Amino acid sequence: MTATKFIITAAALSTLLVGGAADTSINSIVASSTKGFFGVNDASVRAGWNIATSIRGGSTEVPKKKKKKKSSSASKASKKKKVIKPAATSKAANQESSSSNSDLSEAILAASNSKNTMKVYSYSEDDSGHSVVGMTESAMLALGVFDGDTVFVKGKRGKKTVATVAMVSDSDAASLSSMDDASSLSIGMTSDAMKNAGVRAGDAVKVTPAPDVKFGKNVLILPYQDSIDSVSEDDLADCDIFEDYIRPYFEGKFRTLYRGDSFTIDGPVGLLEFQCVEIDTVEVDGDTACVVVDDTVIESDGEPVERDESDLDGAGYDTIGGASKHLAAVRELVELPLKHPELWSKLGINPPRGVLLTGPSGCGKTAMARAVAAETGAYFFVINGPEVISKKAGESETNLRRAFEDAAANAEDYGGAIIFIDEIDSIAPKREKAGGEVEKRIVSQLLTLMDGLKPTSKVIVMAASNRPAVIESALRRPGRFDRELDMGIPDEQGRLEILQIKTRDMRLGNDIDLDMLARGTHGYVGADLQQLCMEAALECIRTKMGLIDFDKDKVDKKILDSIVVEGKHFEHAMGVVHPSSLRENQVEVPDVHWEDVGGLEDVKRELHETVQYPVEHADKYIKFGMNPSKGVLFYGPPGCGKTLLAKAIANECGANFISIKGPELLSQWFGDSEANVRELFDKARAASPCILMFDEMDSIAKTRGSGGPGSSEAGDRVINQILTEIDGVGARKNVFCIGATNRPDILDPAVIRPGRLDQLIYIPLPDLKSREAIFKAALRKAPLEKSVSIEVLARSTHGFSGADITEICTTASKLAIREAILAEEERLQKVAAGELDEDEGKADPKDMVITKRHFNFAMSKARRSVSEKDLALFEEFAEKQKAGRGEAATNFKFSGSGAADDDEDDEAADLYE
């Protein structure tokens, strides 16, 4: 029988080593012994082990079974034995190939082409646990490992784990990873393994063979405190943690362990999470990794461990979205000098000393700095601006010096140090504008400290500010803050990346469309999108509040399983959360639609083409080499729907809408009015696409130098600033200006010239069809008596503006409401007196309608707000605009053949005949 075993084992080993049966492994062969491998005096099986491990480069020494020893440690008072089969190991070369890239910032983001670098996908098999990774046969050959071998997996933030290789087919790997190159560049990892390596699905990890992993002698495994707290005391009292959880998990599995690994085990009282605290191998006490075998003593007695705060923080490159270019530049300027200073010394130049991150609040400046520190493992010292300042003379500078000294002292131990100064503008303002001597001394001290950083100190200063213009200019020169990165507000693709990151751990319904959310969140920064997700989750919880029993310690599992964030919850959140940087300007998308605007069909079409086309069909404008129109001026009698039109177009194209009243921009202080205009346009650009609505524009754009009533130097400067912003050299992005006025004759001509508010649209009094449309729009939600004729009302309101017609409808509705309330009070009195029963006292919905009598009363009170004299002024101005085109433009047309006539006339005139 022994000889037979040896023959089968040798044949199987031979098949495996020459690339035969893919699912055959040394471990499975060794495990085929019915008596178990260790402790069996079977010379043939032991010889088979020696042959295999010799050919594959592993150790031929098989640890013998040892007796258990009692530990003297107080924390190891109770030890329990665990039986496991060993995993065969192998030795393989670890060769890396470098990839070249002309752009360093792109190269640093690109994944290495080394065969050791693999992309992670989610993988799980029955009872695979945390210590198994899936690899295809081609990936195993490239790495030089076999099914059942152990490998080290190095992920982000310096995290590392050890695992056993399990072979998966190419088709399974491709289906799980959704990658075309899954057969050679992917590795399947369980959720526990990904957590231990600090990665997520889609991240890249370094995989290296681990032939020297020893067999464990003593292992200390303890549960997490928060995991234990999640179980009731009664359930915990009836449960034996070791017998019910740890023993079944390890028994017969030959699992690998890395010190610090955490893993989740399902048991009688639910899921519990454990951590490997200590490892002693057969050769080294306090080792980092081992394979648990039958001699391994697993200890589980001791106090539960607290979870590391860094695990809860979760800072890393994978938490930064919408800033790939900025992240690449930060890694280039910070991570490379810390990890590879020899690159700079080889080139004979000093590495960067500082990076200044600018951008609006909530765009991710602090998060990016923390992510770099976490990924590099560098010592991270945070200086919050106001904390440095002290009332005692000289103490503020001392605090700053201590921060730099502390960073320099820890840089060697941590492989580098990052000093992060948050809100640097509060401690380093321009010295000529600083309010006190303390700020001036702090600025001088900071300049001295940054100049004193040695090239070999491996200390880099990062700072963040949303007011870079007020920072001392001497700090912003090369040699101090070498690079300034403006984070800015993310575009649509950036918002999509942020939403994908913020929602990846949320339970989302099938109706969630993140692309649509990204398109509808113009001007939102990362903090706003995080708040959006939180509000959606809160709204989801509110819908279940009636089912939650607050007297119970825990929410029922069925209720928890039913909580899913759906599209309607995000719709509610969109109405609550607005861009934080624009809240003081009340940026909003108005709740006004085209159906709310009666008539003006030609104006609607022109507005749609002028405003909405550049947003929805930007590629067409690029194709034709055309810049979108910059603005539109609505002029016409008051009450004709100029403001309503602007609100409707803002809603239809999904743009943010800022309504500006002229006096809001004016200030008593010299220069403040112009600064308000600049700030307004800056915010609009940040929230693009955005529509700026200047209502009553004649109040701030009167003809300059006219000396008329209301004109002033301040008003002239405001006009100049508005013109500069509309027509200036700065980037406008998708910012569209709409002006509305009922006094176009007093506007400055420069405002309405082509290139500024170049589309002049006259909004006249509504004609018959328009009046019908206005009545229908105003009464579309009102209950009307069937005998009420909208057509008769429209014919009877000639010369009325849209506001006048709306007032008629409002008056009729108010009268109907008054009568309905009086009738209800009368019925209630009769019910109380016993004259009517409760059913008879209820109002009949058929009686609650607006009748002809109500409209007769409303028409008797109606009045026209626009006189014939006023109307003539607007008609005259419109005619002047038409006449201003000139005869040449009015009679212009191309000739039929497209060629000039052969005569003695002006050749230029022939071309346009």
Give me the pLDDT at residue 912, please.
Answer: 36
CA distance 318 to 315: 8
Give me the pLDDT at residue 896, please.
Answer: 55
Q: What is the DSSP annotation of 315-380?
A: -SGGG--S-HHHHHHHIIIIIHHHH-THHHHHHT-PPP-EEEEE-STTSSHHHHHHHHHHHHT-EE
699 and 838 share a domain?
Answer: no
Q: Which of 762, 782, 804 is the last residue of a domain?
A: 762
Pairing state of beta strands 690-695 and 483-486? unpaired
CA distances from 117 to 12, 21, 99, 152, 319 (A): 31, 26, 12, 12, 21
119 and 29 share a domain?
Answer: no
Give me the pLDDT at residue 127, please.
Answer: 59
The CATH number of the domain where 290 resides is what? 3.10.330.10
Q: Which residues are CB-contacts of 128 (< 8 A; sequence separation ≥ 6)?
A: 166, 190
Q: Give the closest residue to 75 by CA, choosing from 246, 221, 257.
A: 221
810 and 739 share a domain?
Answer: no
CA distance 68 to 647: 81
For residue 825, pLDDT over 80 is answered with: yes
User: Is residue 506 within 8 Å of residue 533, measured between CB atoms?
Assistant: yes
CA distance 713 to 238: 85
Give me the pLDDT at residue 385, please.
Answer: 73
The stretch 818-824 carries a mean pLDDT of 87
Q: What is the pLDDT of residues 109-143, one digit of tens each?
A: 444 445 688 888 887 755 567 788 988 888 888 88
For tokens 């695979």, what's the residue? Answer: 128
Kindly tell me the burial class for residue 646, based on how many C-beta atoms sit within 10 Å of its own C-beta (0-12, 13-18, 19 or more). buried
User: Is residue 874 within 8 Å of residue 637, measured between CB atoms?
Assistant: yes
For tokens 């976490």, what's the residue? Answer: 374
Is there a domain that residue 97 lies in?
A: no
Give me the pLDDT at residue 894, please.
Answer: 62
605 and 669 share a domain?
Answer: yes
Domain membership of residue 278 as a residue range: 216-305
User: Is residue 482 within 8 Å of residue 353, measured between CB atoms?
Assistant: yes
Is there a domain that residue 872 lies in?
A: no
The stretch 2-11 carries a mean pLDDT of 35
**3-state helix, strand and coil shares in percent for the chain, rounded to the nearest 5:** 45, 15, 40
457 and 520 share a domain?
Answer: no
Q: How many domains does the chain have?
A: 7
Is there a domain that residue 74 lies in?
A: no
Q: Give exposure, 686-705, as e/b (b: 16+ Cβ within 10 Å).
A: bbbbbbbbbbbbbbbbbbbe
Question: 556-559: which pairs have CB atoms within 8 A and are 24 or more residues apart?
Answer: none
515 and 626 share a domain?
Answer: no
Q: What is the pLDDT of residues 349-391, one digit of tens each?
A: 888 889 999 988 888 888 888 888 877 878 888 888 777 777 7
Give the DSSP letter of residue 519.
H
Q: What is the pLDDT of residues 690-708, one digit of tens each?
A: 788 888 888 777 787 665 5
CA distance 61 to 576: 68
Using pLDDT thresholds of 50, 70 and 90, give the confidence band for residue 203: confident
CA distance 647 to 95: 63
Is there a domain that residue 75 lies in?
A: no
Of all residues in the chain, the percent with pLDDT exceeding 70 is 76
The dihedral built from the CA positions of residue 798, 804, 805 and 807, taken in this order, carries a sign that is negative
Higher-pLDDT residue of 389 and 245 is 245
Is there a domain that residue 82 lies in?
A: no
Give me the pLDDT at residue 488, please.
Answer: 81
CA distance 184 to 189: 15
Q: Give the closest residue to 630 by CA, choosing from 534, 751, 533, 719.
A: 751
278 and 354 share a domain?
Answer: no
600 and 657 share a domain?
Answer: yes
For residue 667, pLDDT over 80 is answered with: no
481 and 496 share a domain?
Answer: no
Q: Which of 486, 518, 542 is the last residue of a domain?
A: 486
The stretch 248-267 carries a mean pLDDT of 88
Using pLDDT thresholds of 50, 70 and 90, give the confidence band for residue 843: low
Q: What is the pLDDT of residues 753-768, one digit of tens each?
A: 877 887 888 888 888 8
Radius of gyration of the chain (CA): 38
560 and 686 share a domain?
Answer: no
Q: Can you name the residues that pair with 739 across neighbouring β-strands?
A: 633, 694
Q: Which of 190, 209, 228 is the last residue of a domain?
A: 209
User: Is residue 318 within 8 Å of residue 238, measured between CB atoms?
Assistant: no
Of the ranges 385-389, 400-404, 713-717, 823-827, which is most confident? 400-404
Higher-pLDDT residue of 275 and 605 is 275
174 and 134 share a domain?
Answer: yes
CA distance 457 to 447: 17
Is there a domain that residue 39 lies in?
A: yes
Higher-pLDDT residue of 731 and 472 is 472
User: Is residue 129 within 8 Å of residue 253, measured between CB atoms?
Assistant: yes
Using pLDDT thresholds of 50, 70 and 90, give the confidence band for residue 891: low
Is there a domain that residue 176 lies in?
A: yes
CA distance 825 to 831: 10
Structure tokens at 408: 């320099």
CA distance 220 to 79: 9
The CATH number of the domain where 788 resides is what? 1.10.8.60
CA distance 291 to 314: 29
For residue 737, pLDDT over 60 is answered with: yes
Is there a domain that residue 191 lies in?
A: yes
The CATH number of the domain where 668 resides is what? 3.40.50.300
606 and 659 share a domain?
Answer: yes
pTM comes to 0.62
CA distance 553 to 57: 57
Cis preceding linkage at 689, omega within 30: yes
Question: 3-state DSSP call for residue 429?
Answer: strand
